[in-house]
Amino acid sequence: MVKTSVFFYLEGERLFSGLEANLKEEDFRHAYRVLRLREQAALIVSDGTGLVYRARIISATPKSITVRLDQKLNNPKQKLQVVLLQSITKGDKMDTIVRQSVELGVARIVPVISKRTVPVRDKSQEVKRMQRWKNIIRSAAAQSRRPYLPAIDDPMELFAIIDQIKGKEVIIPWEEEKHFSLNERLSQPCPDDGAVYLLIGPEGGFDLAEVETIEKVGPKTVHLGPRILRTETAAIAALTIIQSAWGDLSSEGAYF
């Protein structure tokens, strides 16, 4: 099968063979001005919920690009569904975590407010930050040709997520854990439903009381080796290891 690397989303559209639709505004400018796509150029489109079609541009102007959908493509569903519970970082580090975790196949991201999280007190700044993360997710998912757009939740207090993770497969890298490694944890079978929660601490790490509270409902901490990693490094390292052991990093290449 001939592959193409040009991938776009048509969220909210009911996709079917023969459909003619305009690319979203945030996409057509990039397609027209940067990629210089014109009539008859081949591409792939998805609705972000799993439907994927091969398509072709039938009209391209500086104001819009119209595509016609052709062949529906097979889309093997990703079994491993990792939810990244990421303590919010300062500056643009969170942007990097969001982007790279999407590239590595995370299914959902929950920004977490823990004791050592630097708070954002300006509500408008919080709204802008959430929108920026959503834009990063969409861009990274398209670059990775992901049929399912990952979700991102509103920020949650650490202790508010305890009910969500109770009884679940939860992995908590912690720099104070000395004995039980992530590799030992992953030597066990992947959960039957494929659902895994990865809880990453903030800059400065989790407070001991936070870890003790979480461990009371079941989850245990693991270490990532002898080196102390930055939070943005720990998130991506742990996700990569999990995907390698339980996910699809060792499977065949790109589907589309």
Kindly report the CATH number assigned to the domain that includes residue 38.
Answer: 2.40.240.20
Residue 8, pLDDT score = 97
Distance (Å, whole) CA 125 – CA 155: 13
Residue 77: how many other CB atoms lie within 10 Å: 9
Per mean pLDDT, which range of 96-105, 114-123, 175-184, 195-204 is the poorest? 114-123
Q: What is the pLDDT of residue 120?
A: 66
158 and 61 share a domain?
Answer: no
Parallel, antiparallel, or unpaired: how do β-strands 81-87 and 195-200 relate? Answer: parallel
Q: Last residue of a domain, which of 52, 72, 92?
A: 72
pLDDT at 121: 65
pLDDT of residue 31: 92
CATH code assigned at 170 = 3.40.1280.10
- Based on the fold, state whether residues 133 and 188 are members of the same structural domain: yes
**Locus of tokens 């659902």:** 195
Are 102 and 132 members of one domain? yes
Helix ranges restricted to H, the chain: 25-29, 93-103, 123-143, 162-165, 182-186, 208-215, 231-246
Asked if residue 120 is part of any domain, the answer here is yes
Region 63-83 average pLDDT: 92
Beta strand 64-72 with 20-22 is: antiparallel
Q: How many domains does the chain have?
A: 2
Please determine, for residue 3, whether its predicted confidence score (pLDDT) is greater than 60. no
CB 196 within 8 A of CB 246: yes
Q: What is the mean pLDDT of residues 59-64?
A: 93
pLDDT over 50 at 2, yes or no: no
Q: What is the pLDDT of residues 132-166, one digit of tens each?
A: 999 999 999 999 999 999 999 999 999 899 888 88
Range of the domain at 142: 81-246
Query: Is position 172 within any domain?
Result: yes
Instruction: Give, in degrees to the nearest 5, the angle at Cα 9 between 8 and 12.
Output: 160
